[in-house]
């Protein structure tokens, strides 16, 4: 019996890879849809898997837990961004309470001398209720951070929130320069948004994007998202104000390092960012290479939506959950 030809073997490999990509896309879409399901949230919170999930991706539920995790990161030469979890609040009282908790985080950072800053989602402080409410609640956060010499990052959420997020930002930007934005490479509009941010001197964190977006507003193919990311990263690194390159993708990390080497862009002109609990080995390796690293460190009780989006991003995260289920 004749062995299969090389061309047939190559065809088989391509077929397997195509199948695997389709499975990953299908799985990603499922978890993104589950991230908005209140019924599934109730089920997940009752199951044993929730405990290892929280430990893996979340710094804990209390502020003391977050402080301990930040101290551990700082000891390794890694900075942190603290995120008090919560989004899409239902009323003005919840929005004000979330804003007050954000101010408490800023005070914690200052009083404990932590190498950290704050990230905030505007839906957490009332954006879905009104842009005026989100602006009113963001102002004291920026005021407190400015008094403490701290920086605040406004997280970007779904495409439906981008214009309103930018409206709130621009209402306060003339008065507060200690605030930056996040842009997502999978959105078609991001080239324009990044160019405007560069003109205004706004600090940008670049991410791929983790929401379930329609093809009318976002790239759906990973190669297109990656190409957009690399193009935007080059522009930010050459022209931007201390950009944050937020990715766990080794190919993109190597692309950025090679680009910076060719363009003589020193490691003091930007920082890499990653998520708490993901690729800790890579985080520490980049620090040893002399790069600045900041880890996005979420904490709080509202961990469900955030965690589902993390599972959607990487098949390895889903395998982690499966292993913990099988052990029980």
Lookup: tokens for 232: 């935007």
Question: What is the dihedral sign for C-alpha 299, 302, 305, 308?
Answer: positive
**155 has catalytic annotation:** yes
Give the tokens for residue 14. 């391509």
The answer to whether 154 and 180 have CB atoms below 8 angstroms apart is yes
Which of 205, 279, 292, 310 is labelled catalytic?
Answer: 205
Q: How far is CA 248 from CA 27, 153, 252, 253, 310, in A?
A: 19, 19, 8, 7, 12
User: Residues of 313-327 as b/e, b for ≥16 C-beta within 10 angstroms?
Assistant: bbeebbebbeebeee
Catalytic residue among 155, 193, 292, 309: 155
Q: What is the DSSP letter of 59?
A: -
Annotated active-site residue 163? The verdict is: no
Contact at 8 Å (CB) between 295 and 283? yes
The values of phi and psi at residue 119, to 5°, are -115, 145
Task: Tell me how far apart the alpha carbons of residues 175 and 168 are, in angstroms, rounded to a whole number.
Answer: 12
- DSSP letters, 156-176, are ---GGGHHHHHHHHHHHTTT-
**Exposure b/e, 142-164, CB count within 10 A at least 16 = b:** bbbbbeeebbbbbbbbbbebbeb
Query: 3-class DSSP state for residue 295?
Result: strand
Do residues 129 and 95 touch, judged by C-beta distance below 8 A?
A: yes
C-alpha to C-alpha distance for 122 and 134, rounded to whole angstroms: 6
Q: What are the residue numbers of the active site?
A: 155, 205
């Amino acid at each position: 019996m004749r062995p299969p030809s090389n061309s047939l073997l190559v065809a088989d490999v391509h077929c397997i890879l195509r199948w695997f990509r389709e499975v990953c896309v299908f799985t990603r879409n499922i978890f993104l849809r589950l991230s908005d399901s209140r019924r599934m949230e109730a089920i997940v919170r009752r199951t044993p898997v929730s405990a290892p999930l929280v430990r893996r991706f979340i710094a804990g539920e209390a502020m003391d837990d977050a402080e301990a995790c930040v101290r551990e990161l700082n000891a390794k030469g890694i900075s942190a961004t603290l995120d008090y979890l919560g989004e899409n609040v239902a009323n003005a009282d919840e929005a004000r309470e979330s804003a007050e908790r954000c101010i408490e985080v800023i005070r914690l950072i200052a009083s404990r001398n932590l190498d950290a800053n704050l990230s905030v989602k505007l839906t957490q402080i009332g954006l879905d209720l009104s842009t005026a409410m989100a602006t009113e609640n963001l102002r004291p956060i920026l005021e407190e951070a400015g008094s403490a010499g701290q920086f605040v990052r406004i997280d970007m959420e779904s495409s439906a929130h981008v214009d309103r997020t930018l409206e709130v930002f621009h209402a306060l930007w003339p008065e507060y320069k200690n605030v930056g934005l996040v842009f997502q490479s999978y959105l078609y509009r991001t080239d324009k948004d990044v160019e405007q941010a560069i003109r205004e001197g706004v600090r940008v964190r670049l991410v791929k994007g983790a929401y379930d977006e329609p093809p009318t507003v976002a790239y759906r193919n990973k190669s297109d998202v990656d190409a957009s990311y690399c193009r935007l990263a080059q522009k930010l690194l050459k022209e931007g104000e201390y950009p944050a390159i937020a990715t766990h993708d080794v190919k993109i990390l190597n692309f950025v390092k090679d680009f910076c080497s060719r363009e003589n862009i020193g490691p003091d002109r930007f920082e890499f960012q990653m998520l708490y609990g993901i690729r800790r080995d890579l985080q520490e390796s980049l620090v040893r290479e002399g790069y600045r690293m900041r880890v996005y460190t979420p904490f709080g009780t509202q961990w469900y939506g955030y965690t589902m989006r993390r599972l959607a991003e990487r098949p390895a995260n889903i395998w982690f959950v499966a292993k913990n289920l099988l052990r029980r």
